[in-house]
Structure 1
Amino acid sequence: MMSYFALPDITPRVLKVWMRNRDVFMTTLTVNFLPPLVEPILYLFALGFGLGNYINEIEGVPYTKFIAPALISVSMMFAGFYECTFGSYVRMYYQKTFDAIIATPLNIDEVIAGELLWGATRGVINASIILPILTIFGLAVYPHSLLVIPFAFLAGLMFSCIAMCFTAITPNINSLTYPSILLITPMFLFSGTFFPLSLLPETVQTIALAILPLAHIVIVVRSLMSGIIEASLLLNIAWMLGATLLVFLLSINLMKKRLIV
């Protein structure tokens, strides 16, 4: 009986899958570049400079500075999640890309791991696009904000793994809207993004920090972009590392079960 947390059989050949997805990404660079560039600017103007004029400082900073880290955090989440749900499902089911790659010396574990690494890379790409925009508006403190870029890989990988778990069990592509609505949307709203977690009841705060990955990402990115780095961030990063390891193993084994069957 297959263990859902068995160690995968992975070699450096996973980079071949990553490179294949990178090459496809580069052929449609304009389409892939615009959404992560335009969307945070719209949120920044509508909420930061619009609604923010009617909001006092939050946690001692202007509202624009409060939501700026959330915008880049949400972009990491969207990049990893949607790349490894709809993107991976299309490659697996419609384009038969997985079948073609498995016909080469690469095994199933390496195909899925390569997909996850590419999803993490999409998180880095989005962060790299958005950070300069926020910098132009004076919403990032340097050099600490530069740490957001490598951190984006961990954030993107975590959501890529979560996404792949849903891709492995969903019966059809339309069903992927359920985790998007029931998981991603609540995290988008209740992870300390547009208002502090401290405004929520204490029980809800505890639940958010226990089960919502985005809450930890927002805390870390907000600290990095403000230049205030505290030892407590290690707890958030440790939570993310532990959760990422678990869903990484789970996603590969769930996908292996689906593809073998």
Structure 2
Amino acid sequence: MTTVRIGAETEGEPRSPRAFEWAPVRAVWRRELALYRRYWASTSFAAMVEPTIYLLAFGYGFGSVIGAMYGYAYRDFVATGVVSTAVLFIGAFGGMFNTFIRRTFQHTYDAMLAAPVDVHELVTAEASWLAVKAGVYGCAPMLVGMAFGLDPSWGMLLVPLIGFLTGLGFALFGMWVSAIVPSINTFDYIITGALTPMFLVAGTFFPVEQLPGWAATVAQFNPLYHCVELVRGAVFGTLGLGSLLHVAVLAAFAALMWCLAVWKMRARLID
């Protein structure tokens, strides 16, 4: 006897979560890839232009005054730090705005859940797709930095993986936020009050050790700080056993955000 699985719950009978399956994730990825083929040019343009502006403004503007930072040319310091900014914006903004629009205005997720796709599979697929984009476009500042004199190294091959792990956490963060805000305008509070301080106080443009003691301690809990440390360690060849702590923090952040995103998205879409 063949069992037919219905994607959406029957009226009056809420569907309980089922075991995780990869087939729905692949299906969502195919949809995302089909959409991406339409807008890849604009996304790629922004990913290349923004780090170029940062490098010109900070790397050469401030760099002409500062010169070196912790033994590195300041432009190289900025080029490796801006990787985290690209990863943050691609992951968090995509998780917030794309998810909110698809859930509230386009009702895309209602259609997906009518198929054999559960909320935890949907969240995983959407977030992992954004994480892949973050890992790829996170390399753009590094490539721009190489054009401005950053020396290439084998450790740069690890940067997409670092960007993926960091982007996964922030994509899930964005999806969680999109499920708890009352309107799309509320994102202004998140961008100004949370995301902007995160990338400013992450060692992106200056070492966190330059901050007051309490602020430097708080910065240790910023996932972007750990991303910056891993990227610089990979590019400059200074990774060590201590780097495992940075990886553990980013993995724990992604795991926590996955639980929160699935919980609130399920409440919004099903419960």
With the length of structure 1 as denominator, give the TM-score of the two structures. Answer: 0.93
Identity %: 32
Q: Which residue of 1 aligns with 2:249?
A: 239
1:154 has 2:165 as partner: yes
> Which of residues 75, 83, 88 is equivalent to 1:64?
75
2:69 match: secondary structure: coil
Between 1:74-83 and 1:14-23, the stretch displaced more is 14-23
Q: CA deviation at 1:85?
A: 0.2
Instruction: Determine if contact 2:80/2:141 at 8 Å carries over to the other structure.
Output: no
1:115 has 2:140 as partner: no
Q: CA deviation at 1:22?
A: 1.9
Distance in 2 of aligned mates of 1:191 and 1:209 = 8
Q: CA deviation at 1:206?
A: 1.2
User: Aligned pair in 2 of structure 1 residues 67, 129: CA closer, same or farther (>3 Å)?
Assistant: closer
AA matched with 1:17: V
AA matched with 1:221: V
Instruction: Determine if contact 2:127/2:172 at 8 Å carries over to the other structure.
Output: yes
What is the 5 A alignment of 1:134-153? 134-153=145-164
1:230 has 2:240 as partner: yes
Distance in 1 of aligned mates of 2:188 and 2:126 = 20
> Which of residues 151, 157, 175 is equivalent to 1:164?
175
What is the 5 A alignment of 1:133-212? 133-210=144-221, 212=222
User: Aligned pair in 2 of structure 1 residues 173, 140: CA closer, same or farther (>3 Å)?
Assistant: farther
What is the 5 A alignment of 1:8-87? 9-12=19-22, 13-87=24-98
Structure 2's unaligned 5+ residue stretches are 1-16
Deviations 1:6-31 (A, max 9, x none): x9842112121122112111111211
User: Aligned pair in 2 of structure 1 residues 108, 147: CA closer, same or farther (>3 Å)?
Assistant: same
Q: CA deviation at 1:192?
A: 0.9
1:132 has 2:143 as partner: yes
With the length of structure 2 as denominator, give the TM-score of the two structures. Answer: 0.89
Distance in 2 of aligned mates of 1:57 and 1:32 = 32
AA matched with 2:180: I
Instruction: Determine if contact 1:144/1:224 at 8 Å carries over to the other structure.
Output: yes
AA matched with 1:233: S
1:28 match: secondary structure: helix
Q: CA deviation at 1:251?
A: 0.9
Aligned pairs, how many? 255
Structure 1's unaligned 5+ residue stretches are 1-6
Distance in 2 of aligned mates of 1:129 and 1:80 = 15
1:37 match: secondary structure: helix
Distance in 2 of aligned mates of 1:170 and 1:27 = 29
Distance in 2 of aligned mates of 1:245 and 1:64 = 34
User: Aligned pair in 2 of structure 1 residues 21, 66: CA closer, same or farther (>3 Å)?
Assistant: same
Distance in 1 of aligned mates of 2:176 and 2:165 = 17
Distance in 2 of aligned mates of 1:219 and 1:203 = 19
User: Aligned pair in 2 of structure 1 residues 145, 8: CA closer, same or farther (>3 Å)?
Assistant: farther
The CA RMSD over aligned residues, in Å, is: 1.7
Deviation >4 Å, runs of 4+: none
Instruction: Determine if contact 2:51/2:140 at 8 Å carries over to the other structure.
Output: no
